[in-house]
Amino acid sequence: MEEIVVGLGERKYPIRIGCECARELGGQVRAALPRCDRLMVVTNPDIARLYAEPVLESLRATGLAVDLFEIPEGESSKCIAVLETIWDRLIRSGFTRQSALVALGGGVVGDVAGFAAATYMRGIDVVQVPTTLLAMVDSSVGGKTAVNHPLAKNIVGAFWQPRLVFMDIAFLRTLPVEEFRSGFAEVIKHGVIRDAEYFRFLEEDLDRIFALDGDTLGRVVRVSCEIKASVVEEDERESGLRAILNCGHTLGHAIEALGGYGEGSRHGEAVAVGMLAEARVAERLGLIDAESVARIQHLLERSGLPVRCPAFPVAEIVDRLKSDKKVRDGRVTFVLPSGIGWVATRNDVPRDLIAEILIEMGANSS
Ligand code: NAD
Ligand code: GLY
């Protein structure tokens, strides 16, 4: 298995990436958590049906007691009520400070189980075992955990780094292609913000990636994790550099919110539209050339990601920007591509320019 270390001093941890390696999980958890007395795997019923058996078998082979706890599938599980069911089970079953959680699933399971670990007994260990592309390249790395509030997404949470991130890319073989695509928007983002060579590799090897060729997909997951790890190492708590990961997300979040989170469009689809809209804004501000914007659009299109904005009223999209977590002193922060592999942070983007671009891309002008 390949290893990337997220170098965060005493909170440093390895990301291990392999293919058909699920049976190695137990040994690696044991090595990462030598004092652990007991584990609880948190997952959802769909993922449990597919992967609980090999995962539990590998973990139990270490001699540790391992419980399985299922939360309902879907974004609606990222709420305090579901978190309470996890706390409840941990208390009733007598989990201790030496116990640990294993988050087996996509970003939803990872975020809820991560926050449960961050809060139970003021913090117990968590191992992230991502099963979606989005979770492998983004949410399982970096320690952001959260639940949603009826008024805002991901608004209640904690930075809580895992002790190990274990990835078996063979898990992606059962992932619906729309989910794969949604995660791939974040992969494209990594190329756009940080690595022109990676972006070119994605352009050249796209067919092999979508055919789930093991070596090619392994490189995607590895390079994206290296990019995310390097950003998190420099700025764990998003006081500066980490914000570059928000490229495409300022407009993307506004579109996603109007679509009703997961009901209208998937996160990655909204990020794709947001990334292209932000690239076009950057072009109009003279930050990026037309050819680079065309390459971003072409790669999104070839990946089956949307490049048209849903026909939401443009004023509603622009108004939504005000409730973004990235607003400072009433100004919306945009992370705009300034070439492939580079970004510029701007908080002076005229509202009219944003509206104009969104209308060109399909938003409703009325
Ligand atoms: P998800 O967790 O809802 O998973 C998508 C779907 O795929 C679910 O139905 C799930 O049951 C299914 N699934 C998962 N693995 C599977 C597999 N191997 N085979 C078949 N089906 C499988 O969605 P997601 O896109 O992974 O995560 C989205 C969440 O991640 C959002 O809540 C978002 O806020 C969060 N997120 C967090 C961070 C972070 O840094 N913590 C970053 C980005 C996104
Ligand atoms: N997904 C953005 C971050 O982890 O910072």
Same domain, 191 and 309: yes
Q: Is there a catalytic annotation at residue 20?
A: no
Say yes or no: 166 and 213 in one domain: no
The confidence score (pLDDT) of residue 336 equals: 97
Task: Provide the 10 A C-beta neighbour count for residue 154.
Answer: 15
Which of 172-186, 207-221, 329-343 has the lowest average pLDDT? 329-343
Q: How far is the CA of 182 from the centre of ligand 1 (A)?
A: 9
d(CA 359, CA 72): 38
Please tell me which residue in 10, 35, 92, 122 is annotated as part of the active site.
122
| Domain extent at residue 272 | 178-360
> Could you tell me if residue 365 is inside a domain?
no
pLDDT at residue number 222: 98
261: pLDDT confidence band, cut at 50, 70 and 90?
Answer: low
Q: What is the mean pLDDT of residues 208-222?
A: 97
Measure 67 CA to ligand 2 centroid, in angstroms: 29
Considering the domain boundaries, does residue 325 fall inside one? yes
Q: Domain check: are 201 and 245 in the same one?
A: yes
How far is the centre of ligand 1, averaged over its atoms, from the C-alpha of 139 (Å)? 8
Whether 145 is covered by a domain: the verdict is yes
**Quick one: 190 and 99 in the same domain?**
no
Q: Is the CB of 44 under 6 A from ligand 1?
A: yes
What is the Cα–Cα distance from 176 to 144, expressed in whole angstroms? 25
Question: What's the CATH number where 268 sits?
Answer: 1.20.1090.10
One domain, residues 167 and 258: no
pLDDT of res. 331: 87
In a domain, 366, yes or no: no
Candidate list 70, 189, 246, 280, residue with the active-site label: 246
In this structure, the answer to whether residues 169 and 191 fall within a common structural domain is no
Of 141, 159, 174, the domain-final residue: 174
Element (H, E) at 227: helix 214-234
Q: Is residue 232 part of a domain?
A: yes
Distance from the CA of 196 to the center of ligand 1, in angstroms? 27
2-6 and 13-18: which strand pairing?
Answer: antiparallel
242 catalytic per annotation: yes
Catalytic residue among 16, 181, 219, 242: 242
Q: How many CA atoms lie within 13 A of 314 on its CB side?
A: 17
Give the SS3 label for residue 139: helix
State pLDDT tens for residues 279-329.
999 999 999 999 999 999 999 999 999 999 999 999 999 999 987 766 777
Question: 87 and 136, same structural domain?
Answer: yes
- Is 249 assigned a catalytic role? yes
Residues 200 and 55 in one domain: no
d(CA 180, CA 333): 28
pLDDT for the residue 262: 59
* For ligand 2, mutation pick of 133, 138, 256, 271 (most atoms within 8 Å of CB): 138
Report how far apart the first and last C-alpha atoms of the chain are (Å, whole number).
54
Identify the residue whose C-alpha is closest to ligand 1 atom 39. 139
**pLDDT per position as a tens digit, 329-363:** 778 999 999 999 999 999 999 999 999 999 999 99
What pLDDT is stored for residue 259 in this prediction? 84
Final residue belonging to a domain, choices 174, 203, 236:
174
Asked if the model's pLDDT at residue 40 lies above 80, the reply is yes
Which amino acid would we find at residue 257?
A
User: Residues 188, 335: one domain?
Assistant: yes
In the set 236, 238, 256, 283, the catalytic residue is 238
CATH code assigned at 43: 3.40.50.1970
Q: What is the mean pLDDT of residues 137-150?
A: 97
The mean pLDDT of the chain is: 96
Do 187 and 145 sit in the same domain of this protein?
Answer: no
**Cβ(320) – ligand 2 distance below 6 Å:** no
DSSP annotation string for 248-260: THHHHHHHHHHTT
**Total structural domains within the chain:** 2
Q: Note whether residue 319 is domain-resident.
A: yes
One domain, residues 221 and 139: no
Output the pTM of the full model: 0.97
pLDDT at position 266 = 83
Domain boundary among 174, 207, 227: 174
